[in-house]
Amino acid sequence: MNGVRCINNMSLYNLIRRPAAMAGLFLASVMLFTSCGSKSYSVPFDVNTTKSAFRFETNNSRSIASSFAENLAVVSGDMTPGEEISFGENSYGSAILVNVDKHEVMYSRNATAQLYPASMTKVLTAVVALENASLDTVLTANDNCVFTAGDVQKIGLKPGDTMTLDQALHLLLIYSANDVAALIAENIGGSIEGFSTMMNAKARELGATNSNFVNPHGLHDEQHYTTAYDMYLIFNEAIKDDTITQIIGMNSYTTSYKNSAGEEVTFSCDTTNRYLKGLVTSPSNVTVVGGKTGTTIAAGACLVQLSRDSAGRNYITCVMKGNNIDVTYSKTNSLLSMIDSN
């Protein structure tokens, strides 16, 4: 028992003969720090006391253990004012609005429902990439980075093509290039599978425990899923990085990378975010900073993004499984309209 010795009845009898104060102190210590006998002792959660399984204090106010979610918003059931549409042409699967600065969930609907994220996945891909490589890291494409399907967003990478991680992140987050996501995974994780393991480890670290990722791009797989709340946790981590925040706010990008012969290949692209394109207008008191879209047949239309009110306060919205793109942006705007301009 790791050096902890049980106390027999005779030892307890001798203790009782000691001064009462000493006996009480010792018996309390025995109950807390040994596992003798068949009973287990714990401190249950009690909302009426500061002594619980979630928090322990001492007389020194500086000796208070911080909880994991101290600087995070916590969702606890649906908060859905007004009429909600869960089926039909204007339906959506889940949504959440979080005041980032106050760590407050202002709205949630089905926020812990496991749904397909599509290309919102690439937010976590960027987080893991930046945590494990520098922006000037040179990435080289292999056969696993070649995507030939006509309906897949891509820049047309070929084996031997090279670019820096900085270039790759711009193409990943602005244009949502799936072959570039594979390029990042192959070079930083050693393989798609290896990088997916890194993604899941990071997700668990962030508390996104209702998610599972099997690729870096979000192309459909039944075992690849997340929740609106988990996307808040992941995106909240992403926007702590100035590089990601700067990239998601760009409406276009042009770069030149090299092919296997060392020749430059120029690629230009526009953002997939309709707010940044000027196709959707946010409420007058809200400025959209940027975010990440995601669309597949199975996932529907998804959008996670950062916005700010007129006082500079930060908000994260996430809408998943919109029946179509218009529904997702309309729902996002209804969430943004809940933000107080004062």
Q: What does the pLDDT average to over 253-282?
A: 97
pLDDT for position 136: 98
Residues contacting 91, CB < 8 A, separation 6+? 85, 322, 323, 327
pLDDT of residue 23 exceeding 70: no
The predicted-structure confidence for 187-201, as pLDDT tens digits, reads as follows 999 999 999 999 999
- Residue 275: name the closest of 221, 230, 201, 332 by CA: 332
Q: Per-residue confidence at 86, pLDDT binned at 50, 70, 90?
A: low
Instruction: Report helix, strand or coil for 108.
Output: strand
Calpha distance 91→76 (Å, rounded): 22
pTM for this prediction: 0.78
pLDDT for position 143: 98
Q: What does the pLDDT average to over 314-333?
A: 97
- Looking at every residue in the chain, the average pLDDT score rounds to 83
Per cent of the chain over pLDDT 70 is 74
> Is 119 noted as a catalytic residue in this protein?
yes
Helix ranges, the chain (H): 9-16, 20-33, 121-132, 165-173, 178-188, 192-205, 228-238, 242-248, 274-277, 325-336
* Dihedral-angle region of residue 38 (phi above 0 means left; psi in -120 to 50 means alpha; beta otherwise): alpha
> Could you give all domains of the chain from N- to C-terminal order, each with its CATH number?
10-65 (no CATH), 81-342 (3.40.710.10)
> Is 176 noted as a catalytic residue in this protein?
yes
- Check: CB of residue 265 under 8 Å from CB of residue 254: no
> Is 122 noted as a catalytic residue in this protein?
yes
pLDDT of residue 174 exceeding 90: yes
The predicted-structure confidence for 97-128, as pLDDT tens digits, reads as follows 999 999 999 999 999 999 999 999 999 999 99
Per cent of the chain over pLDDT 90 is 72
Task: Return the higher-pLDDT residue of 311 and 40.
Answer: 311
Calpha distance 193→180 (Å, rounded): 16
Query: Given 122, 202, 292, 321, which residue is catalytic?
Result: 122
The predicted-structure confidence for 228-245, as pLDDT tens digits, reads as follows 999 999 999 999 999 999
Judging by beta carbons within 10 Å of its beta carbon (0-12, 13-18, 19+), is residue 217 exposed, middle or buried? buried
pLDDT of residue 310 exceeding 70: yes
* Sheet architecture: strand order including 252-258: 138-140, 162-164, 252-258, 264-270
pLDDT for position 78: 60
Query: Given 94, 108, 154, 176, which residue is catalytic?
Result: 176
The predicted-structure confidence for 134-173, as pLDDT tens digits, reads as follows 999 999 999 999 999 888 999 999 999 999 999 999 999 9
R_g (Cα) of the chain, nearest Å:
26
Calpha distance 107→261 (Å, rounded): 53
Token pair in block for residue 247: 């990239």
- Check: CB of residue 111 under 8 Å from CB of residue 227: yes
pLDDT of residue 295 exceeding 60: yes
Q: Per-residue confidence at 79, pLDDT binned at 50, 70, 90?
A: low
Query: Given 108, 119, 211, 307, which residue is catalytic?
Result: 119
pLDDT of residue 217 exceeding 60: yes
Token pair in block for residue 65: 């253990």
